[in-house]
Every structure is written in structure tokens, then in C-alpha cells.
Amino acid sequence: MKKLTYGMVGGGPGAFIGDAHRRSIAVDGCAELAAGCFSRTPEKSAQTGAELGLDPERCYASYEEMAKAEAAREDGIDFVVIVTPNVSHHPIAKAFLEAGIHVSCDKPLCLTNEEAEELVQLAKDKDLLFLVTYTYMGHVTAKQAREYIKAGKLGKVRAVMAEYPQGWLAFEGENGGKQGEWRTDPKQSGGVNCLGDLGTHIENAVATMTGLKIRRLLAKLDVVVPGRVLDDNDYVMVEFDNGATGMFWSSQIAIGHDNSLRVRIYGTEGSIEWFQEDCEKITIIEKDGTMIERHRGNGGIEPDAARYGHLPSGHPEGWFEAMGNLYHSFAECLQAKKAGTFTPDMVDFPTVEDGAEGVKFVHCCLESTKNGNIWVEM
């Protein structure tokens, strides 16, 4: 089986997330970088390409050029990885889809529901796979939560408490460097900062783990740090289609929290706690209160979660491996497409539809906030 190749848009000098995607794909080993448009400045793009050992003719000055050229090559990339600021996700993804190239795109998928629907439709029409890199759903333990609930072991889900606090944007007069600058700039990030960056991870994690859809929500997106334009602390009350309820909190002003995505799910037969910073374990509480800690690699992990682990338990895997696991399933599906053996149930990664749900979530929250924190149907 020939290894897949991929191209990257974004991820130039100093960009954190592009480097992170490259390392994640490398640790999984499912694909090799073969092309790129790493920066809007051609010289920087070429420089990054050279550092990464790319063929100079496959370092492009624009993504449009790249989409066309790669589509035309016999050995063209199998998929593109889009790691640019939010505002450009849509046009870039569209260009590659139209060129017939599979897409992996960072979250949030794009800025508007219209853009999202267009991408969903385009991927469908072109029969292309589309991965939206909600990294955390790649963790074996996150998959374990999903499998455990899917198997009915939690009973009916009644309540979900989910939060994603960080502290890096807590300080007046600071904007968290390059990362923070575009995130807090309405032009580059869309109409939200914290909710787009963190809140969408909550929405996706809860949807993935529980399988529930949000029926309606009531949101309060706040700008806390003086001088900022976009939200940096967000509360959302939710009601799910099965009658369960929940509260989501995302924040960038919570000093002491590095990257604290935490999901707690309470059912009629037990509960689950999952914490991203301690991603090698999951806590399961059974009906009689027995509190069990399960580790990746241990017995008791469901096969559809366990199969993503590489190392024995107690040999920590982390963020790169989680992201790598998303690409692993994506690559498996792409290889199956090539081999003509693909079936939709093979998809074990967040898709463009999941990405579109995230965009819808953001817009419902904005609408609720604008109207004084009222309930909005989703």
C-alpha cells in the first residue's frame, strides 16, 4: 500500500498549528508532505518548503495555483491540510474540493452557515472526504466515552457539564502573541474569538461522545478584558433532543487553566468524566457509585477505541497522537477509496457535517446573546 501524500496551506514560519499537524501526521505515519503554500508571502512559503525538504516546484505562491497544479499532476497530493486563520478556511477548502482534492481543515470550519452548507454540498457532490480537525476526539479515551455511551452503559443521558477554560488571554494590554492577534481580530476570526476557538470544541466533544443534538440554547458571550472587541468568556445553557440539559463554559481569562477541556456526562445508569489534560485516563462511575479509572492500554477499553493506541498503558500518548488518530482514520478511508473498498461506516473522524454543526452553534450563541440571552432553537 503506497503511502499517501499531502499538501499544506498555511503553517509557515512561526505558525504553531501547521507544525503540529505535520508532526501528528508523522507520528501516525499515514502520509507524507509533498506540497505546500505555507504563507501569503511567496518567499516565506518557499523558505518553509525548503526547510521541510520539499521539491521547490511544489511550493506554491497561492493556494489557487496549488489546487490547480496538484490536481493536474499524476503524483498530485491525496489531500490538503488547511491551517490558516478562520476567515480563509472556506475559500481554500472550496478551491481544493472543486479541484477534486480531499480536504482536512482546522476548526471552526468557516464563518457563516451559508459557507458551511456550501462546503457540505460540494464535498457530497464531488464525493470527497472532508476532515475537520477537532483534535481531541482522536484520543482513545474520548472514543471510549463515545463507545461506552453508545453501548448504553450510561443509560439515558440526563445532564452534561462541559467546559474549556484557558488563561492565556487574561491580561489587559496583551493579546497572546501571533496566535492571539488573529483570534481577537474580528476580520480574521469571524464574529467570535473564544467561542470559535474553544466553544466549538465543547460542542463537538459533547455531540461526539453523547450522540445527542442540541435542540435549543441560551448563551451569554462576554467581553471581559478591557480593550477587546470579541468574546473571551462564554456561558451556554443547552437542551438536547432527548430532553437532557447542560451547561458549557469556555474562557480565555481563567488564569491557571492551560487547556482544560473537560466533559462530564451524567446518565441514568452512571456517569463519565473526561479531561483533556489528563487524556490517558477516563473516569467511569457506575450506578452504585463505584468509581473506576480506566487507562488507555488497559483492559476494559472498548475495541473501537483501544485500536488507536500505540503504546502500552502508562507510556503516555498525547496531543500529537490524538491528532494523528484523526488522520489515521482519514487516511484509512482515503486508501479504501483508492482500493474501491470504502464504506461510510469506516469514517471515524469529524466531518464537514460536524464542522457545519459547529458553525451553526456559534451563530445561535451570537443570536441569543444579541437578544439578551434568550433561548434560540438550533
Binders of its own copies in range 11-40 (CB under 8 A): 16, 19-20, 22-23, 26-27, 29
Site string for its own copies, 182-221 (x = CB under 8 A): ------------------------------------x-x-
Q: Which residues in 299-331 are b (16+ Cβ under 10 Å) and which e?
A: eebbeebbebbbeebeeebebbbbbbbbbbbbb
Of the pair 320, 330, the CB lying nearest its own copies is at: 320
Task: Determine, following the binding rule CB under 8 A, whether residue 297 of this chain makes contact with its own copies.
Answer: yes
Greatest C-alpha distance within the chain? 64
Task: Determine, following the binding rule CB under 8 A, whether residue 222 of this chain makes contact with its own copies.
Answer: yes
110: closest CA among 189, 185, 19?
189
Contacts of 291 (CB under 8 A, 6+ apart): 283, 284, 285
- 67: cell is 489546487
Q: Which of positions 343-372 make contact with its own copies (CB under 8 A)? A: 372
Stretch that binds its own copies, among 69-77, 78-86, 109-117, 154-162 (CB under 8 A): 154-162
Task: Determine, following the binding rule CB under 8 A, whether residue 290 of this chain makes contact with its own copies.
Answer: yes
- 55: cell is 521539491
Angle at which helices 352-370 and 200-210 cross, to 10°: 120
Of the pair 303, 344, the CB lying nearest its own copies is at: 303
What is the spatial distance between Cα 329 and Cα 146, in angstroms, rounded to a whole number? 16
Of the pair 325, 351, the CB lying nearest its own copies is at: 325
Q: Which of positions 40-79 make contact with its own copies (CB under 8 A)? A: 53
Q: Site for its own copies (CB under 8 A): which residue of 40, 126, 150, 310?
A: 310
Minimal distance in Å, beta carbon 199 to its own copies? 14
Task: Determine, following the binding rule CB under 8 A, whether residue 163 of this chain makes contact with its own copies.
Answer: yes
Q: Site for its own copies (CB under 8 A): which residue of 170, 192, 305, 352?
A: 170
Q: Which of positions 239-258 make contact with its own copies (CB under 8 A)? A: 245, 247, 249, 251, 253-258
